[in-house]
């Protein structure tokens, strides 16, 4: 049986990513250490505010959230940033509503519209086990937020 190639809406961000040779931060602490340009600082501030708003409102059924970059060495600012909410269970609409409300403040302050996608943990594990190249590239350029806030924010 032939497998269908999976294409994500944020595919255009991943075209030039050479897996295993491309180094991009995967958490805020790493991003903070590598920031150089004004646009880098802009994205860092946006992601830090998003993280700050997520921390007190994290749902138990949320596994993690990926903010898809790349965020370093950009020549211009994105008008949208995809966010992937990876959930263990629950009704998608409720999760969409909650995450939209949380990300409203960073949107108002920075003018970057969050494009929210919701994936189940099972779907993500399938992509990983099948070594889906587009998913692996997505993870390689994403800043990950999870419910282990201490580790994600400061290590």
Cα angle for residues 52, 94, 51 (degrees, 5° grid): 10
- Reported pTM: 0.87
Phi, psi of 74 (to 5 degrees): -85, 145
Q: Let me know if 43 is exposed, middle or buried by CB neighbors in 10 A (0-12, 13-18, 19+).
A: buried
Question: Inter-axis angle of helices 133-140 and 121-129, to 10 degrees?
Answer: 110
Q: Reduce the DSSP state of residue 117 to 3 states and report it.
A: strand
Is 52 in contact with 106 (CB distance < 8 Å)?
no
Q: Reduce the DSSP state of residue 114 to 3 states and report it.
A: strand
The continuous run of DSSP H or E covering 47 comes out as: helix 38-54
CATH architecture of 11-144: 2-Layer Sandwich (3.30)
Give the pLDDT confidence of 102-153 residue by residue, as tens digits: 999 999 999 999 999 999 999 999 999 998 888 988 998 899 998 775 444 4
What ranges do the domains of the chain cover? 11-144
Q: Residue 91, Cβ neighbours under 10 Å: how many?
A: 10
Q: Which two tokens stand for residue 132?
A: 């889906």
Give the pLDDT confidence of 3-48 residue by residue, as tens digits: 556 778 777 777 676 666 667 889 999 999 999 999 999 999 999 9
Q: Which two tokens stand for residue 103?
A: 């990300």
The C-alpha atoms of residue 31 and residue 36 are separated, in whole angstroms, by 10
């Amino acid at each position: 049986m032939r497998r269908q190639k999976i294409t994500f809406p944020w595919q255009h961000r991943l075209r030039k990513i050479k897996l295993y040779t491309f180094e991009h931060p995967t958490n805020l602490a790493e991003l903070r250490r590598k920031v150089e340009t004004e646009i880098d600082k802009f994205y860092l501030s946006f992601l830090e505010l998003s993280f700050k708003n997520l921390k007190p409102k994290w749902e138990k059924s949320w596994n993690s959230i990926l903010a898809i970059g790349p965020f370093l060495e950009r020549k211009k600012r994105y008008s949208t940033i995809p966010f992937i909410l990876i959930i263990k269970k629950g009704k998608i609409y409720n999760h969409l509503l909650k995450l939209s409300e949380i990300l409203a403040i960073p949107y108002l302050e920075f003018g970057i519209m969050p494009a929210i996608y919701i994936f189940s943990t099972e779907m993500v594990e399938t992509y990983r086990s099948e070594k889906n190249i587009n998913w692996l590239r997505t993870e390689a350029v994403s800043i990950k937020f999870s419910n282990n806030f201490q580790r994600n924010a400061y290590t």
